[in-house]
Amino acid sequence: MQAQSNGELPTRNDIPKELTWNVEDIYKTLKLWENDFKWVEDAEKKYAEFKGKLSVLPDNLYSCLKFDEEVGIKLSQLYLYASLSRDLDLNNAENQGRYDRVSNLGSKIGAASSFIIPELLTIPEEKLWDFVDKKVELKIYKHQLEDILRTKAHTLTPKEEELMALAGPVRGVPSNVFGMFNNADIQFPTVKDEKGNEIKISHGRYGAAMFSTDRDYRKRVYKGMYKPFMEYKNTLVAMFNGNIKSYIFNAKARDYKSTRTASLDANNIPLEVYDNLVNTVNENFAPLHRWAKLKKKILKLKELHPYDTYVTLFPAVKKEYDYEVSKEILLKALKPLGEDYLNSLQLAFNNRWIDVHETKGKRSGAYSSGVSYGVHPYVLLNWTDQLNDVFTFAHEMGHNMHSYYTEKNQPYPYANYSIFVAEVASTANEALLLDYLIANAKTKEEKLALIEKQLTGITTTFYRQTRFAEYEQLVHEKTENGEALTPEVLCDLYGKMYGKYWGPEMIVDEEETYTWTRVPHFYYNFYVYQYATSYAASQELVVQIKKEGQPAIDRFLNFLKAGSSQYPIDVLKTAGVDMTSPKPILAVVNKMNELLDQLEELLAE
């Protein structure tokens, strides 16, 4: 299905209808889309009717919030239809035009409705809650209003907020410049590939090369990859420091104690969650050190270097996975989640929620479209019959089911979920899939390859992201304390931290100490820790589901249904996971030790 007989990618017409999206679930015709577009366009002017009146009567407040909801629902459906249509054929100018139109309309609506929160905050709290008591329809907004009031101390005057908004593009310059340098301007050297051909290094080729069994090739690409970053270290340190200082400006302007406090407060995440992750991982490096030692032994190396960390240990295992067969695998692997979950999966499988195959002009990669109120979520795939496709499928269906259950069970104000919990359902699905595949592997070699895959996943998603989080905290704190971060200081800090995580078997090459120059996530302001916490939460949930059965399944489904009706930390607690506790972090540590035990036992046979 990937290509026609002439080697060309298939067109949309070449793909069976049942393996494509049915965007008519959103709008039956383009005329209906245009009708809603016109309605939202007209709604922009109507926001002015509510301005300055929210504090007068409870009816005024309710009418405004309800109107904003109606606009939001239609706008999200307009956007969903336009974005899905665009992604099916990026060469279609008409689809791109619709996407641009709705994006511009969204900006206008954002500007027109921007008065709502500042005006809400001018209402005395006692009066606001009196409104809620008198107008029963306002009770649904209670948690939303509490969250708005929670940030009142860090909300500035209208004039100051206007200045902060004007400063936004300026504050974004370091990140934007880094993005342009990293994705467009950077020039990588050429090296010889495994067959002796000259190739120019790229981000994609670097990633693939690190899994190559040709060690000299890995080393050439590794050293070549870092060369331009090392050459431009002074430019990159200016971007790096400028980015940190922009977040310090924001934190100080809004009266936060630190950049980390300001970032985590957006989702009301206690600092102890971050500290618990970093501290517990620091107490449990043993499995990663053990993995490094085992890798070195299997690869028969005198020295283990960073370019040896991802190499495939069991390359002989090759197996193709058909999409239809993979659906059956998923239904079996996710059986522990119960009948209700499996029925919901079947609903997605049987009703064209998934666009499966690569076609001319289709967007690359994979995603789930998220919550769009009143419409089911969609999944984009680009199937190539590889094992990674099966895991991507499981991952995206985790997102899809999370969005589906949330939209089905929450009113519009809470029909979304925080990034803090966004990766939990997806990684739980991956964990269950891997356990199923390992348990049902036909050969020793297949089982070894699957165990290695999960060990690599823990290394990259859990330990590496925690290392990034610890480093990010360290460099922000040093800057806030007035310490100068030169390239030499940043390299020294990163090199020591890398060595601490990987342990005594690892030789830390000079190139590795420059990792701070090339990680885009360091520009995202305390974002990376959430990869590790989500991974840990999912592992703990899977342990509970397998141990307890239905009670844990019910908690998991309630987690999927909760949306943002509670703060994300509380949604997880209700599901049975306390991210302020070491327990979920230790669940990953224990899982890695179990996998290493299995690997060593198989190798000893």
Residues labelled catalytic: 396
Q: Is 354 helix (H, G, I), strand (E, B) or coil?
A: strand
531 strand-pairing partners:
none
Query: What interhelical angle do 444-457 and 583-604 show, nearest 10?
Result: 150
Query: Residue 204 and residue 519: Cα distance in Å, rounded?
Result: 14
Per the structure block, which two tokens stand in for 150?
Answer: 């929670």
> Please, are residues 569 and 269 in contact by the beta-carbon 8 Å criterion?
yes
368 strand-pairing partners:
379
The CA angle 332-338-341, to the nearest 5 degrees, is: 85
Query: Residue 436 and residue 546: Cα distance in Å, rounded?
Result: 12
Q: What is the DSSP string of 47-58?
A: GGGTTT-TTT-H
Query: Residue 560 and residue 555: Cα distance in Å, rounded?
Result: 9
What are the helix and strand counts (H, E) for the chain?
26, 5
278 CB contacts (<8 Å, ≥6 apart)?
A: 466, 469, 470, 473, 529
User: Chain-centre distance of CA 537, in angstroms?
Assistant: 14
User: Chain-centre distance of CA 362, in angstroms?
Assistant: 22
Of the candidates 356, 419, 347, 334, the one whose C-alpha atom is nearest the C-alpha of residue 376 is 347
* Count of other CB atoms within 10 angstroms of residue 600: 12
Query: Residue 241 and residue 395: Cα distance in Å, rounded?
Result: 35
Residue in the structure block whose two tokens are 């206690």: 270
Residue in the structure block whose two tokens are 């198989």: 602
Distances (CA, A) of 373 to 80, 121, 437, 571: 10, 27, 35, 20
- In the chain, the N- to C-terminal Cα span, in Å, equals 40
